[in-house]
Chains A and B, each alone.
Chain A
Amino acid sequence: MPSVKFIEHNGTEHVVEGNNGDSLMVIATSNLVPGIDADCGGECSCATCHVLVDGEWLSKLGAISETEESMLDLNPDREPSSRLSCQIHMSDDLAGIVINLPEFQY
């Protein structure tokens, strides 16, 4: 199974495995990675699964949808690398992806 490295805001690292097709949000919550609330369960309705995608990995992700962009646009912690982890689905291409977690979810 491909792995994902989540890095908490305080630097704590979590390397966990996930199934292809599962969202990074599901992989994080299934492995008790703190810092992702995901209140809406992955419907792109709440923006509480905000993550920052590390460096080169960003270009390997698909385009951001209009809804996701709108949900992120006003986030005070918005960075160019911001994504909602419920909208990123695991695949072999993403094996080893590095994800940074923001300090807060809004």
Chain B
Amino acid sequence: MTTLSTGATPVPAATGTVETTYREALREALREALREDDRVFLMGEDVGMYGGCFAVSLGLLEEFGPERVRDTPLSESGFVGAGIGAALAGLRPVVEIMTVNFSLLALDQILNNAATLSHMSGGQLHVPLVIRMTTGAGRQLAAQHSHSLEGWYAHIPGIKVIAPATVEDARGMLWTALEDPDPVLLFEHGTLYTMTGTLPRDAGHVDITRAAVRREGRDVTLVSYGGTLHKALAAADVLAGSGVAAEVLDLRSLRPLDDATIAASVRKTHRAVVVDEGWRSGGLSAEVSARITEQCFYDLDGPVERVCSAEVPIPYAQHLEQAALPQVDQVVAAARRVVG
């Protein structure tokens, strides 16, 4: 397997890049994993015949057969548990859970088994399992399919939690996650599947531990991840129009958090706004904000602001759903408050 860090080596634009979508990039990553490592298999509800509830695995059953692409019964606890067993036995399962809301049925397996076995066995057992799931709102799927609970998982020691927000990360994170000896949860924001982007033809693995500076600025740091990255970038565009240079961070890894990159940015800008589609109370934004205060207190020139979802179950009606979610103008307003 060749490892190329994407973007590092310039390639001729005409022949070296390909226009793709976040969905296709995820599929290409699955295809590569299935092709390159025969221990890898995919399972979940409707991943085979139907091609995945969000069509990520479309065509893979035909390409790799029912042994490698397995439809499961509607029992998250059951098939996540099976994935843990397969991982313990030496395979490299990729388990798809339709949405993060449904993952709660498998929370016992994830928390009490996958996350703990390495510690409880004194390192004798490893669970090299990757669980993919959709998170987030914005598609009128109502309160039981739309929440952003990745922050809950980021609370749990023993697992890693990553959130690809770009096409490049959708393409490159899976393989790195499969190489990890311990469980990795990969959160795909539902509104990103149709996002297009350009990838080098030979795009490959990416690091899954570091946050990325997606836009540089000196006045305020906008901390985001997954679906909120693009709102933060849009907000930075608006802010640039009024002379405020916002730096946009993409956390990429929600557990562990890349404290060094966050702190370096805040020490530069002295101000921070955390944008999180999760709820504010007890959420990931609270964790990020607390760490900024712990590590950068004497560099802060104002309170850390947060822009989060309204504290309601995500509504169905489109205007209510949009009203409940973090929006660009709220990010802009928060940034202006801290910049003054």
- Genuine A/B complex: no
A contact residues vs B (CB 8 Å cutoff): none
B contact residues vs A (CB 8 Å cutoff): none
